[in-house]
Chains A and B, each alone.
Chain A
Amino acid sequence: DVKVTQSSRYLVKRTGEKVFLECVQDMDHENMFWYRQDPGLGLRLIYFSYDVKMKEKGDIPEGYSVSREKKERFSLILESASTNQTSMYLCASSLWDASGKETQYFGPGTRLLVL
């Protein structure tokens, strides 16, 4: 079974703090994603990566950065946390099949509260 783990289930930070959210997958997947989920807004893609040291902006990258130094690990960084970044953060990973289709496997999520 694919396993995607996230470093924390719940996190409370102060405004202005630097926040690191870690995600690790154990299935050698090429692709990794960071989403945030807010009521009524669904899943919004923040950043994604198709390979080590590669990153692409998603729909809402402002205020975030990412790091992918190893294939299995994808980190989301909030350089200076703000209250509007209070949200549920979901990491996902996937692998392309021969026809370019993918299925995403999600981690349990990190619920971040910024005070």
Chain B
Amino acid sequence: GQQVMQIPQYQHVQEGEDFTTYCNSSTTLSNIQWYKQRPGGHPVFLIQLVKSGEVKKQKRLTFQFGEAKKNSSLHITATQTTDVGTYFCAGPESGYSTLTFGKGTMLLVSP
């Protein structure tokens, strides 16, 4: 079945450094979604990308969807301590199919 892989599994950065997490699917995705889970919290939807090659920005966060719609990335510029958490990507193979989640990337930011 479909597999979604994320790397790295864990990253520890100093505040102000940049951070990137990568998501790769074994199959083409109809869309890619990103979720953030703060420590002790639950996953919260951040954004959805639909088009091949799409790039979206939310303040210091930049999301990309690959041309082949099998990979995606999340880049955070100048991390802050509020960015701490686990970032999950998720995507369905087609419309009306369930999301497959990656295992997540845990980000720790030291002040």
- Docked pose: A103 CA to B43 CA in angstroms: 11
Contacting pair A40 B95 (CB below 8 A): no
CB neighbors of A among B18-53 (8 A): 30-31, 33, 35, 41-45, 48, 50
Interface flags for A29-46 (1: CB within 8 Å of B; 0: not) read 000010000001111010
Are A103's CB and B30's CB within 8 A?
no
| Chain B, 75-111, CB within 8 A of any chain A CB | 88, 90, 92, 94-99, 101-104
In the complex, A58 Cα to B97 Cα: how many Å?
12
Instruction: Name the distance in Å between A99's Cβ and chain B's nearest Cβ.
Output: 6
Most B Cβ at <10 Å: residue of A33, A40, A42, A58: A42
A43 touches B88 (CB 8 A): yes
Give the B interface residue count (CB, 8 A): 25
Partner of B43 from A40, A43, A99 at Cβ < 8 Å: A43
**Chain B interface SS verdict (over half):** loop
> Which of A's residues lie within 8 Å of B, judged by CB?
33, 40-43, 45, 48, 58, 90, 92, 96, 99-109
Those 5 A-B pairs whose CB atoms lie nearest each other, nearest first: A100-B95, A42-B103, A100-B96, A106-B42, A43-B101
Query: 26 A-B pairs, CB-CB below 8 angstroms?
Result: A40-B9, A42-B88, A42-B101, A42-B104, A43-B43, A43-B88, A43-B101, A43-B104, A45-B98, A48-B98, A58-B98, A90-B42, A90-B43, A92-B43, A96-B95, A96-B96, A99-B95, A101-B30, A101-B48, A101-B50, A101-B95, A103-B45, A103-B48, A104-B45, A104-B99, A106-B43
